[in-house]
Structures are given as structure tokens and as C-alpha cells.
Amino acid sequence: MKRIGMLTSGGDCQALNAAMRGVVKTLFNGKEKVEIYGFLDGYKGLIYGNYRQLSGNDFSGILTKGGTILGSSRTPFKTIQDPDENGLNKVEAMKKNYAKLKLDCLVILGGNGTHKTANLLRQEGLNVVTLPKTIDNDLWGTDMTFGFQSAVNVATDAIDCIHTTAASHGRVFIVEVMGHKVGWLTLNAGMAGGADIILLPEIPYDINKVIKKIEEREKNGSRFTIIAVAEGAISKEDAALSKKEYKKKMTNYQFPSVSYEVAAAIQEKTGREVRVTVPGHTQRGGSPCPYDRVFASRLGAEAGKLIMDGEYGFMVGYKNREIVKVPLEEVAGKLKMVEPDASIVKEAKLLGICFGD
């Protein structure tokens, strides 16, 4: 009999339940008897022994359900080896609870930080298989993460809805899309929603070039402009600052986010009316889209197969339209960024989209 632990860590997203369902259904359809233990609220559940045994019924009817039936939380990797407030060694506690349940494998669903900790547990001798979850699509070693396409759909819908009111009132509208360090979500939603300007963390912007694009559109008869801005978009001036200088600036930052800073600059320099819309956590919520349901199920099925075959220490990823296994040590600590000269960026520019560079 195999005993499998499972947890979801970091920010939630659509299709977490679908992915877990894929793992469990595959294992239950195998020849060997399986027991599933779900750790609640991410790594916290593994640290403090907060878990429950799950049956097949727990995974019935959850394919279309967003969020995670196990709950999630953020347990930063940078403090994972620091004792908690009571002096508990968190890594040793996770190893102890793994051994207590006599687990054969721990299935971990999460993003970049989650994979750093997963790789640490692998180095500590635990059998680990991971699944790539994040709306940011920024995990190294996979072309796609589940949750991404669903989030693109939500962000695109927001931009679509803004188009009609922007056109009616002849305004500049900014839609702020999630993504602190990586701009895949903003890039794809911006292109899908017909944004005229897209500002990404990887491509520092010049506000004067943003304004020039707005003025060009007005000169050509367009009464409105749609700007898709990533949470982590940064100006060329700020990008040139040292980390210390930038941190000092942010301590006295007067805007709720960069979108409001961009809006204020446009209003000051042009006199144009600018509105900011922030879809926020709606991008992580709701039911997974059909693509993510299929994709997460495929990843889950392959993870189940790895467990049945006794192959551990891998993330199940997606490369060149095929499901693949990627060694965890190759994934942990790496981000898949939008390269400024990537083909998708060049093609967006051919369409007339401005990146402010």
C-alpha cells in the first residue's frame, strides 16, 4: 500500500482541485491500494501536523471548483529554516510529520517559492513530486502553468468591459493586472483585450513614450486609449536606481500602486481624464476555464504515474506540447521572465502595441 501526502501552498488559483483530482483518480485506478493524507493550509499543515485522511468522495465534483479544498497559505522560503516563535525547527517538523505518517511521497502544488521549499525537502531525503501552479506562468522548466489561462480570461474580460465605457467617454483607461516580477499575464491579457499600451516589469517604461502613443492615437481619431499595466511595472528612472535607493523611494510612495502613478503623470502632462481599474484577486478566483481543467488533469495524471513508478524528485511540466518531468533542482529558484526581445513582444509591436521602451 502507498501512503501519499498532499498540500497546496502559496496563492490559490483556478484548477488546483482539478490537478489534485487528477493525481488521486490516477492512483485509485492503479493496482496498488492507496491512502491519501491532505495537509491543511499549505506547508503550515505539514509543519504543525494539521492533516486529515481523504477518500475518493473528497475528490468527487471538484473538477470545476476554484480554490483548493485543502486550503493554502504563504510560508516564505527565506524564513523556512528559521525557528518559529516557539523555537520549533520547521524543516525538522516537516520531516517528522512525513515520517510519522509513513508517507511514500509528498505531492506539492505551488509556484516559485513553493518549489524552493519542495526542493529543500527533496534534499532532506523526502520523496517529492510537484505540480506547477501559478497565474503568473513564471515557473522555470514548463511552458505553461495551470491557473494561468483562467486568469488571462478574467483579466481579458475586464479589459473588454473597459473598452465600451472608455470609448463612450473618450478617456484613457488603465487596467492593472497581477504580476509583481513577471509580465506574462499582463502581456497575454493585454494582447487578447486589444490594449494599446502594455507595461511590464521586464521592460522599463518611459512615460513620455506612453504619452506620445496616446497623442498619436488621438491625432489619428481615436478618442480613447487602453493601457494594461502589470503590478510590478517600473519606469526607466526607477529601474536605474540601486536597490537601496529604490527601497527608500518606496517608503515614501504616495500612490496605491504604479497604475495610479502612471495615471497621475498622464493627467499632469496631458490634461486627459484617466481612470484606473484593478480587477485584483478576481483574477485568481472563480471556476477554471476548460483549458485549465484539461491541462491540470493531464499534469495530475502524470504525477500519479510517477508515484506509481516510484520516480520522485520531479516537477511535472509542459514543454513543446508534451507533458514532461523536470528535476526539481532545475526548477527551484528560477523565474521564467518575459524577454524584451521575445517573439511575442516583437509581434505585439508589429500590431502597434506600445511598451513604453
Residue 14 backbone dihedrals phi, psi, to 5 degrees:
-70, 150
Q: CA of 327: how far to CAs of 119, 128, 129, 347, in Å?
A: 9, 11, 10, 32
Which residues 6+ apart lie within 8 Å of 206 measured at CB? 235, 236, 356, 357
136 is catalytic: yes
Radius of gyration of the chain (CA): 22
Q: Of 12, 41, 104, 136, which residue is the catalytic one?
A: 136
Angle made by CA atoms 183, 186, 190, in degrees to the nearest 5: 140
Q: Are 299 and 22 in contact (CB under 8 A)?
A: yes
Whose CA is closest to 71, among 52, 98, 96?
52
Which residues 6+ apart lie within 8 Å of 113 measured at CB? 9, 10, 74, 76, 77
Cα–Cα distance measured from residue 11 to residue 2, given in angstroms and rounded to the nearest whole number: 29
Distance of CA 284 to the CA centre of its chain: 9
Q: Which residues does the annotation mark as catalytic? A: 136
